[in-house]
Amino acid sequence: MALMMMRLDVGVVMLVYMMFTCGSFTVMKNNDKFVSAYTRIATTVSLSEETQQQNRRFLDRVLDARDTHSMITFLPEETEGKPVPLVVALHGFCLQPEIQEAVMLRLVPYVTNTKKAMFAMPNAPSMASGVGLPACRAWDATEATRPFWMLWNRKPEGDVPYVMAAIDKAVATAAQNNVIVDWSKIYVYGLANGAFMAHRLLCEKPGMFAAAASYTGSTDFALEDTCTKNLATSPTSLLQIHGTLDTVVPYGGTPWWPGSEESARLVAEWNQCNLESPLTTESRLNTNPFVSYAVTSTRYEGCASNNVVEEWRVHGMDHLPGIAGGGLVEVSRKAVDWLLDESAVSAST
């Protein structure tokens, strides 16, 4: 059943890709207003020699001998020499940066021009050969997602070292183009498979990120000891977004991972937040002029460092919002707003 769900994910993603490349992508590509808002730089990320040696015995290294992988970065213009935030976007299952760029093209100028932040989209270094898709890139994330990987295709530290290398490369690329990244304002935003990766990073590298956002992902029961220890000393804010009708990553969870509500509560517990009286509010999420969802927000405050953990339960939303996922950009805008604005305000109070 899990295999069927992941392949369904790929099919939906390709449908979204076709819709955007045939429609708004062409329009936006030729719109000078948006093109001039940022500088696009295609680069590569190299794994450390130590990590390369660790991975050589795994199928992933046999089938794909490359030690470098692609990444697309977008730099804001007119920064006036001020340090800028960095948003690292981790793509979904088989949603490589080139596809993600087509889907997310309208999001890029919002991040770079409106929010004055750098946007980086690294390509996952792992191959999903464990589910019969050898050309598909995906993240070796939490133990919960590893049933989709054959035993010989798992790496000791997953793709955590690679994401760290990607951040270093993004910062260096910015510096080469006279853009300074604010190391205290690095954020990670994961989509689906990338959201599971974001949850792992939240726990294993909490001091690196000012906050994390997870769209249709989950934490992992196996991370409890690591999360409890690390978030106690480096509390990190989280935004958890999930649709109640998600047929790919079910809202209520599976035997392998907790549901969205439980994931938020676990992260809040690890952040030493007040679990007894979370704030609950109702609002609406308009993904386009024709589609609107009711949202129940559950917000945990009183955390160790005034950070927050918040869940958005999006009623009636499937794995991808709107018509064929056309609302993903608007959802992502809201997530970026929360990362750059809401979490920053909470941490400073």
pLDDT of residue 325: 62
Lowest mean pLDDT among 133-137, 196-200, 284-288, 318-322: 133-137
Pick the residue with more confidence: 300 or 330?
A: 300
| pLDDT for the residue numbered 42 | 86
Number of domain units in the chain:
1
Pairing of strands 68-76, 126-127: unpaired
Q: What is the pLDDT averaged over residues 125-148?
A: 67
Global pTM reads 0.83
| Res. 34: pLDDT tops 50 | no
Going by C-alpha positions, the residue among 188, 263, 191 that lies closest to residue 223 is 263
125 pLDDT band, cuts 50/70/90, is confident
Residue 164, pLDDT > 50, answer yes
Q: What is the pLDDT of residue 98?
A: 75
pLDDT of residue 11: 46
| pLDDT at residue 114 greater than cutoff 50 | yes
Mean pLDDT, residues 285-297: 89
Give the residue-averaged pLDDT of 87-96.
88
Query: CB-based contacts of 320: which residues, under 8 Å, 6+ apart?
Result: 12, 13, 16, 327, 328
pLDDT confidence of residue 186: 97
Q: What percent of the chain has pLDDT over 70?
A: 74
Residue 149: band (very low, low, confident or very high) from pLDDT cuts 50, 70, 90: low
Q: Judging by DSSP bridges, how do beta strands 237-243 and 309-314 pair with one another? A: parallel
The answer to whether residue 33 scores a pLDDT higher than 80 is no
Reported as a pLDDT band with limits 50, 70 and 90, residue 150 is low
Q: What is the mean pLDDT of residues 149-165?
A: 73
Domain encompassing residue 57:
2-348
Q: Is the pLDDT of residue 13 over 50?
A: no
Q: Is pLDDT above 50 for 161?
A: yes
Instruction: Work out the pLDDT band at 70, boundaries 50, 70, 90.
Output: confident
DSSP code string of 212-241: EEEES----GGGHHHHHHHHHHS--EEEEE
Mean of the per-residue pLDDT values for the chain? 80
The Cα 195–Cα 4 span in angstroms is 19
CATH of the domain at 100: 3.40.50.1820
Q: Which of 75-84, 107-116, 151-160, 208-217 has the lowest mean pLDDT?
A: 151-160
